Amino acid sequence: MTFVNGSSLKHSPPDRRRSERRNSPELAAYLWIGTLPQQAGIRDISSTGVYLVTRERWAPGDVVSMTLQRKGPLEGHFERRVAVQARAVRWGEDGIAMSFVLPTGMDLRLWESPLKSAAEQTEPEDILHEFRMAGALAFLGRVSPAAADEAGRLLREGLSNFRVASAMAIILTAEKMISFASNADGLRAPASIVLRIVEEGSWADAEPTQHLWAGLLATSCTLNGRDESNLSFANLLCQLTSSHVRILSAACTKATKFMAGLERISSRPIQLTARDMTQITGSRDLIRIHRELEYLSDLGLLTTNVRSQSFSPIESTDIAPTSLGLQLFARCSGYRGAAQEFYGVSRSRLPRIPGEPELVVPDEASR
């Protein structure tokens, strides 16, 4: 996770009220010097800066990128590390004092949890949690100021630890998604959608589902900040379990898509064996899988034709994502344009069915 985004950087001002320094013996910093990261020890850390135990001596004012994590090999999972920038302040005999450079609106609150002892709050995981919390709230404050207070209440007081972790993963993934947009600093989202995604998405118990919620949050951000069309997709997504998401994702990824008219995208059925379905869902309960297929069909996201034999609830099935299912998956994958563009489907040509003539839909210029 990176808390730095172009013009949103600021030099954190001194704050005596929250600048208490504490030692975290198991916390380390990886410094990106040259092509290889170098691990540096941390003598102490506060909400405004960190003292690195290192032989490096940057000039005062130099900004350095670093990754904070528990001591050991460089972590591969972004939830177990945070990337931040810091400005060199002064040299010491064994290292250098750095002042954090944080995004506008990021309010880091180390050592302020009333539910944990001082010793607990210096654990690397607690420190990283506070960085992630502050980063998530800063992002929501930028894209939806009207939702900031209520979102802060939910994340700091209203949700369980499990739901907070899930919500932060969604928010920070969405931030990463829109950071690549040229107009990222100007994107805004309606408070109603932001709060719905934070509250409902926090129940997501698997990374693929969290990723879809993140995509929905990212595509809720527009230049005018008033588009609430994603509410209908949020209403659908909150009804899906992780198994439903795996089935729908596989169907939307594997099926052949085509235009069934000038604006409606459709797909050809794909045949899946019982073994295919157990691999997709991670479950061997074929009766349960059958019910999940029927549920997705009832929601209008999938069409299915199950074939069974007496010795097995499901022998094979033909499934195809509906137009609604394809649109939901595209929007929740972080794509805001037309679904056919996300899937790379031409408006002018439909796939040829054996024995039938090839169909061509005329475009505007030829009609």
Between 34 and 3, the more confident residue is 34
Q: Highest mean pLDDT range out of 83-92, 310-319, 351-360?
A: 83-92
When pLDDT is cut at 50, 70 and 90, the band that residue 255 belongs to is: very high
Q: Does position 330 have pLDDT exceeding 50, yes or no?
A: yes
Average of per-residue pLDDT values in the chain: 84
Whole-number pLDDT of residue 352? 41
| Tokens 């995604």 sit on residue | 197
Q: Does position 266 have pLDDT exceeding 70, yes or no?
A: yes
- CA nearest neighbour of 237 among 290, 192, 276, 201: 201
- CA nearest neighbour of 295 among 234, 225, 245, 233: 245
Q: Please report the DSSP string for 105-169 in residue order.
A: T----TT--TTS-HHHHTSHHHHHHHHHHHHHHHHHHHH-GGGHHHHHHIIIIIS-HHHHHHHHH
Q: Does position 8 have pLDDT exceeding 80, yes or no?
A: no
Between 19 and 140, the more confident residue is 140
Average pLDDT over residues 270-298: 90
When pLDDT is cut at 50, 70 and 90, the band that residue 119 belongs to is: low
Q: Does position 357 have pLDDT exceeding 50, yes or no?
A: no
Residues 6+ apart with CB under 8 A from 117: none
Q: Does position 104 have pLDDT exceeding 90, yes or no?
A: no
Between 146 and 346, the more confident residue is 146
Helix residue ranges per DSSP H, 220-335: 230-237, 242-254, 274-281, 286-298, 323-332
Q: Highest mean pLDDT range out of 42-51, 117-126, 239-248?
A: 239-248
pTM recorded for the entire structure: 0.81
User: What is the CATH code for 6-104?
Assistant: 2.40.10.220
Q: Does position 118 have pLDDT exceeding 70, yes or no?
A: no
Q: Does position 34 have pLDDT exceeding 80, yes or no?
A: no
When pLDDT is cut at 50, 70 and 90, the band that residue 36 belongs to is: confident
Question: Phi and psi of 80, rounded to 5°?
Answer: -105, 15
**In the chain, which residues fall in CATH 2.40.10.220?**
6-104
When pLDDT is cut at 50, 70 and 90, the band that residue 123 belongs to is: confident
How large a percentage of the chain has pLDDT more than 90? 54
Q: Does position 353 have pLDDT exceeding 60, yes or no?
A: no
Average pLDDT over residues 59-85: 88
Q: Is residue 70 exposed (0-12), middle (13-18) or buried (19+ Cβ within 10 Å)?
A: middle
Choose the weakest-confidence range: 1-5, 16-20, 140-144, 181-185.
1-5
